[in-house]
Amino acid sequence: MSMTQTTPRTDAVTGRQRILDAAAELFLTLGYAETSLRTIADSVGIRAASIYHHFENKDALLLEILEIGMAAVEAAFDDAAEQAPTDPALRLERHIAGHLEALFAHHAFTAAHVTVFPFAPPTVRTSAVAARDAYESRWTELLGEIAPHLDPDALRIARLALFGAMNSSVQWFDSSTSSTDDLAERIASTVAHGMLSTRGAS
Amino acid sequence: MSMTQTTPRTDAVTGRQRILDAAAELFLTLGYAETSLRTIADSVGIRAASIYHHFENKDALLLEILEIGMAAVEAAFDDAAEQAPTDPALRLERHIAGHLEALFAHHAFTAAHVTVFPFAPPTVRTSAVAARDAYESRWTELLGEIAPHLDPDALRIARLALFGAMNSSVQWFDSSTSSTDDLAERIASTVAHGMLSTRGAS
DNA sequence: GTCTATATTCTGATAGAC
DNA sequence: GTCTATCAGAATATAGAC
């Protein structure tokens, strides 16, 4: 059920995938309600009615985009968890880098979780929220291990603030001119040792 | 742009203000395009056509909401700048607390800058962007003084990550059950000394 | 799989009465 | 300042031909 975004075999991009790509990009740029099916169809080079051959309705299209984005960050978390350096600061940096890499490698799909999810129709939000919660739980656990001195309240705030910092980057970071690894290192260094520390500031 | 109708009423809450309040709340909850003028009118208890007596059109309504929100955070920055503790960490904390207080005291108006601004019509975004840039410049200057060891690139990332962390709180922080001062202290402590430091924990 | 044609509903906005 | 009435356009979605 979940396979879409990687590289299966051929370079042939199906009509279905082209619709997903175009819709994700447009939802992110213009917003969900602001993007009509006609606009998506125009971008693909088909008619709006043809979209209904591939998707039940507009909501289902958005939901699938959110699911693809969630799968991408989950996979990145798995990768980072396999490396698992023993040094806490390094371990944190690997996970931050993984999250950011996923954020920009599948940009329109993952970024949709940041900006379009809050305004998604309630039914779509409800369908997508379980996967989001699961991902957040993994981070809570991770941060709890890395910073065991923090109480649950502080842990929750730290996680949400870190998410806010990382995710906001989809609105200001240009991955075509800068490296996500570099961004990850800078964010991780600040989160780990603080802005006032001169550690890691070359 | 002469959007102030000549209505020197002395009423506590004018019809105009009630429209602004309702619209700000609805834009934030449902989104701009998702909120119709009829929905706003219903919330106020009037008809949609009556809104046009107070505002030129829907875009003008959003723009004024964004301007009110920007004025609120600017005022908070002024207040924090007047106090200006000499200790860098304390100075940072005062400004973070000011930003957060403004964020929740005028919640719907300031939060609109976080979530609805990105999807605002291009003309509205263009009109609002100058004030936003000015506010960001003040923060860049502040952070440059607090952390003089950071190069411009690192400074930009630090500022944007801090904004991301602070502003994301409108989506997860409940100011009716927790104090913004407490939140500010925790975020400031992390930003200043890092998550891995035990300084200021508990 | 994509098309044309269309049904239905909702949108922002205007005109003019009170 | 708010109302009723209405417009013109755009939206999602469906039916059925090719």
On average, the pLDDT of chain A sits at 93
* CB proximity A9 to B under 8 Å: no
Inside any domain, residue A107: yes
Residues B108, B24 contacting (CB under 8 angstroms): yes
Rounded distance between C-alpha atoms, residue A95 and residue A184, angstroms: 9
| Nucleotide in closest CA–C1' contact with B59 | C12
At residue B181, does pLDDT exceed 70? yes
Give me the pLDDT at residue A2, please. 44
**Number of domains making up chain B:** 1
Residues of chain A neighbouring B168 (CB-CB closer than 8 A): 160-161, 163-165, 167-168
Q: Name the residue range of residue A60's domain.
A: 15-193
CA at B125, C1' at C5: how many angstroms apart? 38
Inside any domain, residue A98: yes
Residues of chain A neighbouring B89 (CB-CB closer than 8 A): 196
Q: Give the one of A89, A115, A172 whose C-beta lies nearest to B196's C-beta.
A: A89
Compute chain A's Rg from CA coordinates.
18
Give me the pLDDT at residue B5, please. 43
Portion of chain A with pLDDT greater than 70, in percent:
93
Inside any domain, residue A4: no
Q: How confident is the model over B132-142, as pLDDT tens digits?
A: 999 999 999 99
Q: How confident is the model over A82-121, as pLDDT tens digits?
A: 998 999 999 999 999 999 999 999 999 999 999 999 999 9
CA at A51, C1' at C1: how many angstroms apart? 10
CA trace torsion B144, B147, B148, B150 (10° rounding): -90
CB contact under 8 A, B191 and A190: yes
Residues of chain B neighbouring A169 (CB-CB closer than 8 A): 160-161, 164
Give the least confident one: B10-14, B36-40, B167-171, B186-190.
B10-14
Give me the pLDDT at residue B3, please. 44
Inside any domain, residue A6: no
Give me the pLDDT at residue B198, please. 81
Indicate the SS3 state at residue B2.
coil
Rounded distance between C-alpha atoms, residue B69 and residue B106, angstroms: 7
Give me the pLDDT at residue B199, please. 72
At residue A6, does pLDDT exceed 60? no
What is the SS3 string spanning chain A?
CCCCCCCCCCCCCCHHHHHHHHHHHHHHHHCCCCCCHHHHHHHHCCCHHHHHHCCCCHHHHHHHHHHHHHHHHHHHHHHHHHHCCCCHHHHHHHHHHHHHHHHHHCHHHHHHHHHCHHHCCHHHHHHHHHHHHHHHHHHHHHHHHHCCCCCHHHHHHHHHHHHHHHHHHHHCCCCCCCCHHHHHHHHHHHHHHCCCCCCCCC
Q: Which residue of B has its CA nearest to A185?
A: B154
Nucleic acid strand C: bases within 7 A of protein CB = 1-5, 10-16
Nearest to A183 by CA among A193, A199, A196, A170: A170
At residue A160, does pLDDT exceed 80? yes
Q: Which residues contact A90 (CB under 8 A, 6 or more apart)?
A: none
Q: Which residues contact B172 (CB under 8 A, 6 or more apart)?
A: A160
Give me the pLDDT at residue A200, please. 56
Q: Give the one of A88, A150, A201 whose C-beta lies nearest to B150's C-beta.
A: A201
Inside any domain, residue A202: no
* CB proximity B197 to A under 8 Å: yes
Does the nearest atom of strand C lie within 7 Å of A47's Cβ? yes
On average, the pLDDT of chain B sits at 93
Inside any domain, residue B2: no
A85: amino acid identity, one letter: P
Rounded distance between C-alpha atoms, residue A61 and residue A124, angstroms: 10
Give me the pLDDT at residue A8, please. 47
Rounded distance between C-alpha atoms, residue A135 and residue A141, angstroms: 10
Q: How confident is the model over A37-93, as pLDDT tens digits?
A: 999 999 999 999 999 999 999 999 999 999 999 999 999 999 999 998 999 999 999
Q: In CATH, what number is assigned to the domain containing residue A91? A: 1.10.357.10
Nearest to A119 by CA among A30, A39, A57: A30
Higher pLDDT, A190 or A75: A75
CA at B24, C1' at D15: how many angstroms apart? 41
Nearest to B58 by CA among A34, A94, A14: A34
Inside any domain, residue B95: yes
B22 Cα to chain A: minimum distance (Å): 17
Inside any domain, residue B1: no
Residue B117 DSSP symbol: G
